[in-house]
Structure formats: C-alpha cells, structure tokens
Amino acid sequence: MDVILFLIFAIIAVVCAINVVVQSHPISSAISLVGVMGSLAILYLLLGAEFIAAAQVIVYAGAVMVLFVFVIMLLNAGAEVRKGRSLVVQLLGVPLLIAFLALVAYFVQRLFPSSVTVRFGGFTGGTAQAIGRALFTTYLLPFEITSILILIAIVGAIVLARKEMD
Amino acid sequence: MDSFIVISLIKVLVVFAVLMTTLAYLQWVERKVIAHIQVRPGPYRVGWHGLLQPLADVIKLITKEDLLPSYVNRPLYILAPFISVTMSLLAISVIPFGPRIHVDGYSTWMQLTDLNIGVVFILAASSMGVYGIALAGWASNNKYALLGGLRSSAQMISYELPLSIAVAGPLLLSNTLSLRALVGTQLGGFWHWNVLRGPFPQIFSFIIFLIAGFAETNRVPFDLPEAENELVAGFHTEYSSMKFASFFMAEYANMITVSCMATLLFLGGWDAPFSARYGSSLVPVIVFAIAGLILLYHGVNFERKRDQCTFPVFGVIFLLTAAFFLLPVVQEWLLPLFWFCAKTGAILFAFMWIRGTLPRFRYDQLMGFTWKFLFPAAMLNLLVTGFLVAWF
C-alpha cells in the first residue's frame, strides 16, 4: 500500500516537474510546480513526517506559489515565444543532461548505500513537538541565522523598491 | 476492523448529508436575517415562510445551461470551482462535533477523523482554497474577473498571517494541535474556555481570529473580490450553473469552517457553559419550549392570515423538540451537539448580522488595516501569551 502510494505520487511529482519546464505559459508552469509541492508533501506524509507535510503545503503550495501566481497575474504575462536555439544548446544539451543525471545517481549511490532502507511510516520524529524541540535545541543556530537572512532579504527588497519610487 | 469501516462510512454519509443541508439552508437563514434587519419578510413564496426556497434554488442552478465562454482558458476554468469546493469541504473532516458516544454496543467519536495536526491541516486546506478563486479570475480572461481574483489572492495572503498567529495563542494555552484534545483541555465550564482561561484570556486573539476569518471567507465588510458595484461579480463573473454554485457552496462551507474553528479553539467546543448539576441540561428544553410558546401565541394573535396555520405547526414542532431533549437516552449525544451548534450558530449569525450592518472597506484601508494594525496586534498578543504561559 505504502509503496503503491509512493510510486503514484513520485511519478506525479516527476511528471509535474517536467511539465514546469515544458509548458510555455507561466501560469501553467506555476500550477505544475504546485503539483510538485503537493506530491512532495504526500511523500513526507508517507515517511511519517506529518507536521513537515502540512508546513510544506501551507508555506510552499499555499503562500510562496500563491505569490508567484499573483505576480504572474498582476504582470499579465503571456505565453513565451520559443526562439531558435543556439548551436551550443543543440549540441551539448542532451549529453550534459545525461551527465548531470548520472552524477546525481552516482552521489546518491555513494551517500546512501543500499543497506540503508527507507521504511514508510517508520519515522516517528515528525510530530510538532519533536520538530519544535529539534529547531530550538540542536538546530538553534542555523534556525536563527536563516531567520536573520530572511529579514535582511525583506529589508533589502523594501530598500530597492523605495529607491525606484523616488 | 469491519465495524470500523461501516461506522466510518455511516459517519461520512451523515456528516455529508447534514453539511449539504446546512449549506443550502444557511442561505435561506441569511436571506431571512438580512431581510428582517431591513424590515421586509424575505423569501416567502416557495413553501411556508420560503422554507422550500433552497430546494428551488438548487433545482434552478442544476437545470441552468452551463455556459463555457469561447475565450476562457478551458482546463483552468473548469478546474477552479472544483479546487474551491473540494478544499472548503475537506476541512470539515477533522472537526469534532461532540464527545465519544455509545450506540448499541459500539462506541465512536462524533468526528470523522482526528489528526494530531488537525489545526494545521485546516490552515493548509484553507490556504489551498485561494487557488480556486485566483485561477477562476485569471482563466476567465475578463478584466473584472481578473481584478477580483487579484484582490482576493492579495487579501487572503495578507489575512492568513494574523489568522495563523491568532490561532497560535489558544494553542499555547492548550498545548496541542489535535482538535479533539484541544476541546479536552477546555472542559468544565465557561471559565475553562480558552477565551476566558488564565494565565492570559484569549479575548483579543478571538476578535482578531474572527476579523481575519471574515476576510478569509470574503464576507462583508471584506467582500472586495466580488464588489458588485465596481467588479460586476468579481472572480465568478463568467461562471454559470453548477460551477457558479460551487463557488457559492465553497463560500458558505468556509463560513461554517471558520465558525467551527472559533468554537473549538476559543469557546470550548461541545462543552456546556456550566455543569449539569446547575441545570445546563435543561437549557435547550427551556429555549425550545419558550420558542414554541411564542410561536403558539403569535399563531393565535396572527397578523397575516397565513400565520394562523403555519405558526402553530412550528410551535408544536419546537415543543416536541423540547420534550425530545428531556429523554435520558438521547441526552448523551444530543446535549454536546446542541452546545456545539449553538456556539457555531451564534458566530454564523454574527456573520449575517455584520453583513446587514456594515459597509464595505476601501481597498487601501483593507490592506492598511491588516498590515498596520491586525498583524502587530496579533503578534503582541502572541508574545504576551507566550511569556505568561512560560511564567506560570
């Protein structure tokens, strides 16, 4: 049951991810990206990380992607026009893609040897309490640094936008 | 295991049927309430006091021609109402309506399922509901619809922040994310409810939640996405028939969800305001009996000729309901259900009351209000709550 669900949603995630690149209209790409986020959330759920799954839906699918869609709607961006590809892209595109995939496969093989197996639902550290404790004890420094980084980004965005207004 | 599946199926059927009926009749109630605020009788023709009006509306909406304009983005145009209605109905599945009940040897909770992240699940479902409106506005390929969609997505993103932060206050007091356990920590009288409970009563948080909830459901005074005097009908301008009805249903389902959430988070869910020792179990009997007697009195001293036969019938029905509440067999599940419905209904009534009284915000006021007042206020409330909970 778990494996079947994993296969279904993994395939949906991959198909949506390819669709993001293939679609010519920005809105369709954005909706496909929402599909990727949603299926990722279900994969988290299958691993027993229910809080992460809900946070994934709220933050990525619900807030970040809504902003994307909002900006696309606001700019009223039309479908992209496909221009002629350069010679470099035509020659090197497919080989480079294959090389990249092979590299990723190699590193996954190296970092996670087949003796480490994933058990669906076996991950029990996914409750809100466990996540909160980990964030505020073990990972306190990265957590705080990330929040300061985001704050800097927000302030920077406001400064840039103000300059343009004057 | 088999009994679990059968019981779950029965519960799903009951909840679905009750929810659908409530959605249809909420519309009737709203029209009646607003009509009486504006001193007119409201729906009166279809059935007694317009009671069959929802049925007539449903038949009208189903049999109308489903128009598909030629200039729309077809897949997204069709997808949008489905997203809207699915996401709004999804949230009901985790809402507990009452405690564990025992029927014929089987015992079950009056709730479809209890997630240990129930509150976050509802927030997630509501945050996905934005897509329905935003995509409907964009896919319609119509400037009014697009403006409505843009306004609603901006509004929902902005008001989601104070909403989520206001929710965090009672969660700190109750120390759980499961809606069932949340009510469990508030049992034992109204002074235990999160809205009044120490160390820091969540009254501010309750008000902020209600205001943000009104905005999330696009209700007056925050109904700018469908401001009819500037935007025709907003994001659903191009929709007709059942697709239009889905948006309508989604709006009412969201209203019900927000009211249920407010009840569960702040008002103690199905808990009676005082214990049965002091006669809280007699309150529904008294309420229904008084309503029945008033109706009987007006049936005898009628103003309109038709009231002569309708009011006594309703009066007798109310008196029978009052008598039904006295049966000890049904009290176990009927009393919690009564309190839950009474609290949720009071908040739903507030929704309608405000629609009948307040004018609409201007757009810049709407945004300024949430970012400059509601968000800092919610943040301050959360900080104070956090400090006091850690202190005591």
> The CATH number of the domain where A18 resides is what?
1.20.120.1200
| B156-168: average pLDDT | 87
pLDDT of A166 strictly over 60: no
Do residues A22 and A66 both lie within one domain? Answer: yes
Do residues A108 and A149 both lie within one domain? Answer: no
Do residues A121 and A102 both lie within one domain? Answer: yes
Do residues A166 and A92 both lie within one domain? Answer: no
| B76-94: average pLDDT | 87
List the single residue in B73, B124, B177 with the smallest CB-CB distance to A57: B124
Contact B181, B111 (CB under 8 A): no
Do residues A116 and A150 both lie within one domain? Answer: no
Output the pLDDT for position A149.
95
Residue B197, token pair as written in the block: 């409970």
- Is the CB of A6 inside 8 Å of chain B's CB atoms? no
| B86-98: average pLDDT | 86
Query: Rounded to an integer, what distance in angstroms lies between the CA atom of residue A27 and that of residue B73?
Result: 11
The more confidently predicted of residues A120 and B317 is B317
pLDDT of A59 strictly over 90: no
A63:B117 CB<8 A: no
Banded pLDDT at A146 (limits 50, 70, 90): very high
Query: Rounded to an integer, what distance in angstroms lies between the CA atom of residue B122 and that of residue B115?
Result: 10
Residue B105, token pair as written in the block: 């040897």
Burial pattern B362-376, b for ≥16 Cβ within 10 A else e, equals eeeebbebbeeebbe
Output the pLDDT for position B268.
82
**A70-101 pLDDT, tens per residue?**
888 888 777 777 776 777 777 888 888 899 99
Output the pLDDT for position A53.
86
Query: pTM for the whole thing?
Result: 0.85
Contact A150, A158 (CB under 8 A): no
Query: Rounded to an integer, what distance in angstroms lies between the CA atom of residue B56 and that of residue A130?
Result: 52
- Find the domain containing A163 and state its range: 127-166
Residues 6+ apart with CB under 8 A from B162: B208, B211, B212, B370, B374, B375, B377, B378
Do residues A93 and A158 both lie within one domain? Answer: no
- Which of A47-51, A116-120, B133-137 is least confident? A116-120
Smallest CA–CA distance, residue B127 to chain A, in Å, is 5
Banded pLDDT at A122 (limits 50, 70, 90): low
By C-alpha distance, the chain B residue nearest A32 is: B76
- Is the CB of A42 inside 8 Å of chain B's CB atoms? no
Banded pLDDT at A15 (limits 50, 70, 90): very high
- Is the CB of A68 inside 8 Å of chain B's CB atoms? no
Which of 157-196 (B) contact A at CB < 8 A?
A: 157, 160, 177
Output the pLDDT for position B228.
66
Output the pLDDT for position A99.
92
By C-alpha distance, the chain B residue nearest A25 is: B73
A31:B134 CB<8 A: no
pLDDT of B233 strictly over 80: no
Banded pLDDT at A103 (limits 50, 70, 90): very high
- The sign one gets for the Cα dihedral B69, B74, B77, B82 is positive
Smallest CA–CA distance, residue A22 to chain B, in Å, is 17
- The 10 Å Cβ neighbour count of residue B288 is 20
Do residues A35 and A96 both lie within one domain? Answer: yes
Q: Which of B138, B155, B167 to mutate to test the interface with A (most CBs of A within 10 A)?
A: B138
A140 φ, ψ to 5°?
-60, -45
Q: Which of B124, B116, B57, B58 is nearest to B88 (CA)?
A: B124
Output the pLDDT for position A121.
62
Do residues A55 and A88 both lie within one domain? Answer: yes
Output the pLDDT for position A148.
95
Find the Cα–Cα–Cα–Cα dihedral A67, A71, A73, A77, rounded to 10°. Answer: -140
A73:B150 CB<8 A: yes
Angle between helices B118-139 and B74-90 (to 10 degrees): 160
Banded pLDDT at B214 (limits 50, 70, 90): confident
Q: Which of B253, B244, B249, B332 is nearest to B93 (CA)?
A: B253
Do residues A39 and A118 both lie within one domain? Answer: yes
**B333-371 pLDDT, tens per residue?**
788 888 888 889 999 998 888 888 888 878 888 888 888
Output the pLDDT for position A163.
65
B128:A62 CB<8 A: yes
A67:B157 CB<8 A: yes
Query: Which residues of chain A does B150 touch, with a Cβ-Cβ cutoff of 8 Å?
Result: 70, 73-74
B135:A69 CB<8 A: yes
**B18-61 pLDDT, tens per residue?**
888 888 888 888 888 888 888 888 887 887 777 888 888 888 88
Contact B381, B204 (CB under 8 A): yes
Banded pLDDT at B141 (limits 50, 70, 90): confident
Output the pLDDT for position B3.
78
Residues 6+ apart with CB under 8 A from A161: none
Residues 6+ apart with CB under 8 A from B87: B125, B126, B128, B129, B131, B132, B250
pLDDT of B302 strictly over 80: no
- Is the CB of B115 inside 8 Å of chain A's CB atoms? yes
Query: Which residues of chain B does A69 touch, with a Cβ-Cβ cutoff of 8 Å?
Result: 131, 134-135, 138, 153
Do residues A163 and A119 both lie within one domain? Answer: no
A128 φ, ψ to 5°?
-60, -40
E strands, B47-144, where? 98-103, 106-110
Output the pLDDT for position B225.
67
Output the pLDDT for position A165.
54
- Is the CB of B131 inside 8 Å of chain A's CB atoms? yes
Length of chain A: 166
Output the pLDDT for position B54.
85
- Is the CB of B124 inside 8 Å of chain A's CB atoms? yes
Q: Is A85 helix (H, G, I), strand (E, B) or coil?
A: coil
Longest dimension (CA), chain A: 61
The more confidently predicted of residues B106 and B287 is B287
Q: What is the mean pLDDT of chain B?
A: 83
Query: Rounded to an integer, what distance in angstroms lies between the CA atom of residue B220 and that of residue B226?
Result: 10
Banded pLDDT at B144 (limits 50, 70, 90): confident
List the single residue in B117, B131, B138 with the smallest CB-CB distance to A50: B117
Do residues A163 and A87 both lie within one domain? Answer: no
pLDDT of A62 strictly over 90: no
**A24-56 pLDDT, tens per residue?**
888 888 888 888 988 988 888 888 788 888 888
- Which of B169-183, B247-261, B275-289, B373-387 is least confident? B275-289
Residues of chain B with pLDDT > 90, as a percent, come to: 2
Residue B355, token pair as written in the block: 């629609």
B273 φ, ψ to 5°?
-65, -30
Output the pLDDT for position A142.
92
Which of 358-377 (B) contact A at CB < 8 A?
A: none
pLDDT of A152 strictly over 90: yes
Query: Rounded to an integer, what distance in angstroms lies between the CA atom of residue A65 and that of residue B264?
Result: 30
E strands, A16-99, where? none
Smallest CA–CA distance, residue B147 to chain A, in Å, is 9
Output the pLDDT for position A123.
63
Overall number of domains in chain A: 2
Q: Which of A50, A66, A124 to mutate to test the interface with B (most CBs of B within 10 A)?
A: A66
Do residues A38 and A114 both lie within one domain? Answer: yes
